[in-house]
């Protein structure tokens, strides 16, 4: 038997998946990727929002180099493409995902974080892409996800120099959405998760599925897709409940 690399807890509509390799600063290995895959490919019934965070003061310090294997180009590409598939399951699986970030958010850890939809960073956070100092290249989706946040120019400088950013700089650059005091990331993640869970589930689903894809589209295709999404959302029972609640000055009650 091997020690588990993640722990799952469920509180009502909210699932919290904790990276549990504190002695490795929650470095990413194949077992951790497999746990992410298993959870996001088949979320527990009734869960509406997920929270990711790391045990022991760090979110994830990137690829576990102690387990790094000498792979052929073909095997390396397959390994990278599997990471892409799992990160896509996080971003597009249908669950809103909030990440509570502490300590190392490095390499693969930053790739996982930027696949989440709401990112909260404490002062201990260090965002970094140190692949240049390791003689390797990003392979878990950073060129797309981090690159779209920072732009190719700033990401290139970050990789070439090994530069790291703290929470306040990360907030300014868009690597996180909130910068909070020490010890506040996970409580805030839980508060925001509860608010998100109270939204109409189909509206949440459309926001997750449509917005990133619209960014990839031409202007006219994006506007057309927006109209389709609006037509689908605004003709549901949830939309009728939302309007009735607004007019009646009460909180809406959305069914799953």
| Catalytic choice (91, 122, 131, 157) | 131
111 noted as active-site residue:
yes
Strand 6-11 relative to strand 118-121, pairing: unpaired
* 43 secondary structure, DSSP code: P
Among 36, 20, 187, 25, CA closest to 104: 25
Q: Alpha helices, DSSP H only, in 2-107?
A: 30-41, 73-92
| Catalytic choice (45, 55, 74, 111) | 111
Report angle CA 133, 137, 142 to the nearest 5 degrees.
115
Q: Are 112 and 63 within 8 A, CB to CB? A: no
C-alpha 11/C-alpha 225 separation (Å) is 35
* Helix, strand, coil percent content, the chain, rounded in steps of 5: 50, 15, 35
Coil/strand/helix, residue 35:
helix
Among 190, 153, 185, CA closest to 171: 185
Q: Are 254 and 241 within 8 A, CB to CB? A: yes
45 noted as active-site residue:
no
Catalytic residue ranges: 111, 131
């Amino acid at each position: 038997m091997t020690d588990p690399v993640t722990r799952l807890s469920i509180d009502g509509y909210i699932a919290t998946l904790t990276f549990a390799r504190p002695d490795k600063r929650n470095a990413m290995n194949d077992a951790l990727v497999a746990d992410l895959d298993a959870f996001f490919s088949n979320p527990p019934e009734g869960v509406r929002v997920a929270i990711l965070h790391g045990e022991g003061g760090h979110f994830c310090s990137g690829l576990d180099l102690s387990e790094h294997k000498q792979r052929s180009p073909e095997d390396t590409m397959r390994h990278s493409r599997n990471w892409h598939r799992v990160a896509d399951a996080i971003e597009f699986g249908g669950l809103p995902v909030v990440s509570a970030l502490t300590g190392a958010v490095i390499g693969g850890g930053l790739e996982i974080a930027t696949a989440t939809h709401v990112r909260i960073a404490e002062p201990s956070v260090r965002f970094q892409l140190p692949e240049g100092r390791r003689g390797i290249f990003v392979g878990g989706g950073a060129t797309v996800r981090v690159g779209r946040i920072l732009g190719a120019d700033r990401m290139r400088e970050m990789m070439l120099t090994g530069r790291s950013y703290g929470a306040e700089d990360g907030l300014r650059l868009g690597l996180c959405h909130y910068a909070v005091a020490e010890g506040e990331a996970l409580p805030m993640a839980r508060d925001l998760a509860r608010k998100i869970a109270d939204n109409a589930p189909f509206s949440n689903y459309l926001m997750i599925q449509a917005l990133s894809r619209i960014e990839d589209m031409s202007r006219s295709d994006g506007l057309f897709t927006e109209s389709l999404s609006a037509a689908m959302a605004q003709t549901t029972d949830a939309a009728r409940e939302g309007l009735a609640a607004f007019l009646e000055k009460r909180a809406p009650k959305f069914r799953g």
